[in-house]
Structure 1
């Protein structure tokens, strides 16, 4: 299956007034991304909108926090203001969010997400089993890493798992980019879908889009800001939309606007049902 990516602006929270509402909105993003197997979330700078200085950091932090298994959160996320309302946010419960497990039941070949820990010069991983596991690899202490157990209990050992060894959906990564123009010019072997009210109706390009996706390794879906569309943002950056697919996912909408969290969930649902599930 193709790698599915989304791009959202750092002004995504500009239509919310309180940190509580912003946190809840980010959780909706995270849930939608996990439901539809998004592997990468790009956050690009919006040069047009006005928003609070802390909003981009809030967006990045909560997205990463919610993608992190619960047993690692206290290690990776000390008390911080961005997580003030983390306790009310709905969990993702993706496959890499493993539940508590008796260490004696771990088998060779099992995969878990962990954090590298150094004890007396030796490397271990904390993987939520109640005991550190020797780590056959390298990396700085505190690094989040996916590991594969190479020996079962009572001689547990682990190594870093490669992408090919992970056969389930294993969450998303979050990347910040300085501009949308730079993002679009840097990606290769990728079908770019720009969402816009001025675009073609999805049904009119559905067949062609499906054929292009079959030929490509990655799919990137770009969303605009609460107040400005992708076309306006790119124009401010000094360029125009040149993507092959500029798509209106909500023809004949009855509301004045489609909120970003609604656009992400609706768009991913339509594309998944129409195209990705058939490839």
Structure 2
């Protein structure tokens, strides 16, 4: 299945006034991306907008926090200012957010997300089973890792899982990039779709998009900021690099603007229904 990526600006929260509202908006991004199996979220710098310097930190922190299984959150996230409103945010409940489980029911081949712990020179993983599990492999203390159990209880052991061991959607990773141009110049075998009110109607591009995606390993959907479109941001950075597709996902919109969180959810829903489900 083709990997789905999205790119949102570090100014994504610039139209919200309070930390509470910003936190809720980030949770909407996380939910939308998880619903449609987004594997990577890029946060790119927007050179045209003004926003609070704390916004990018808040954005990446809450995105990563919400993707983290509940049983690991206290391990990876101490009390911090950015998570003040984490308690009111809707959980993702993706497949890798495993519920509590009796350690005796774990089978060889099962996969969970864990955190490496070093105890008296030996490596273990905390995987939410009530006790640490011996870990066969390498890694640093506190590193988040996906593990596969290689033997059942009472001789439970684990090793790092590969992509071939995971058959379900396993969440997204968050990466930061200095600009859209840097992002576009650093990816290969990727169909790039920029969303813009000035783009062509999705229906008119559907066949070409489907063919391009069929021959790509990844699909990257780029969203503009609350105040500036993708075309404006790219024009500010470079006149040479342009996305393969510039698409208007909401033709004949009745509102003056489409909010970023609405654009992400609506765009991914349209792409999923019309194109991505074919591949």
- TM bin, normalised by shorter chain, reads over 0.9
Matches within 5 A, 1:200-219: 200-219=200-219
Distance in 2 of aligned mates of 1:6 and 1:228 = 17
- Normalised TM-score (structure 2): 0.99
Which residue of structure 2 lines up, in the alignment, with residue 165 of structure 1? Answer: 165
Post-superposition Cα deviations, 1:147-176, rounded to whole Å, max 9, x if no partner, equal 000000000000000011111000000000
Deviation at 1:238, TM superposition (A): 3.0
| 1:231 counterpart = 2:265 | no
Greater than 4 Å deviation, 4+ residue runs:
none
| 1:254 counterpart = 2:254 | yes
- Normalised TM-score (structure 1): 0.99
Is the Cα–Cα contact under 8 Å of residues 181 and 241 in structure 2 kept in the other structure?
Answer: no
User: Could you say what secondary structure the match of 1:135 adopts?
Assistant: strand
Which residue of structure 1 lines up, in the alignment, with residue 119 of structure 2? Answer: 119
Distance in 2 of aligned mates of 1:236 and 1:191 = 22
Which residue of structure 1 lines up, in the alignment, with residue 49 of structure 2? Answer: 49
Distance in 2 of aligned mates of 1:122 and 1:241 = 49
Distance in 1 of aligned mates of 2:25 and 2:111 = 30
User: Could you say what secondary structure the match of 2:228 adopts?
Assistant: coil
Farther off after superposition, 233-242 or 106-115: 233-242
Post-superposition Cα deviations, 1:10-38, rounded to whole Å, max 9, x if no partner, equal 00000000000000000000000000000
Distance in 2 of aligned mates of 1:84 and 1:237 = 35
> Aligned-pair RMSD on alpha carbons?
0.7
Is the Cα–Cα contact under 8 Å of residues 14 and 52 in structure 2 kept in the other structure?
Answer: yes
User: Could you say what secondary structure the match of 2:79 adopts?
Assistant: coil
Which residue of structure 2 lines up, in the alignment, with residue 193 of structure 1? Answer: 193
Distance in 2 of aligned mates of 1:196 and 1:117 = 46
Is the Cα–Cα contact under 8 Å of residues 116 and 141 in structure 1 kept in the other structure?
Answer: yes
Which residue of structure 1 lines up, in the alignment, with residue 12 of structure 2? Answer: 12
| 1:68 counterpart = 2:68 | yes
Matches within 5 A, 1:178-189: 178-189=178-189
Is the Cα–Cα contact under 8 Å of residues 66 and 92 in structure 2 kept in the other structure?
Answer: yes
Distance in 2 of aligned mates of 1:243 and 1:231 = 9
Deviation at 1:240, TM superposition (A): 5.4
In the alignment, structure 1 segments of 5+ residues that lack a partner are: none
Is the Cα–Cα contact under 8 Å of residues 231 and 240 in structure 1 kept in the other structure?
Answer: no
Which residue of structure 1 lines up, in the alignment, with residue 110 of structure 2? Answer: 110
User: Could you say what secondary structure the match of 1:252 adopts?
Assistant: coil
Deviation at 1:239, TM superposition (A): 2.6
Which residue of structure 2 lines up, in the alignment, with residue 78 of structure 1? Answer: 78
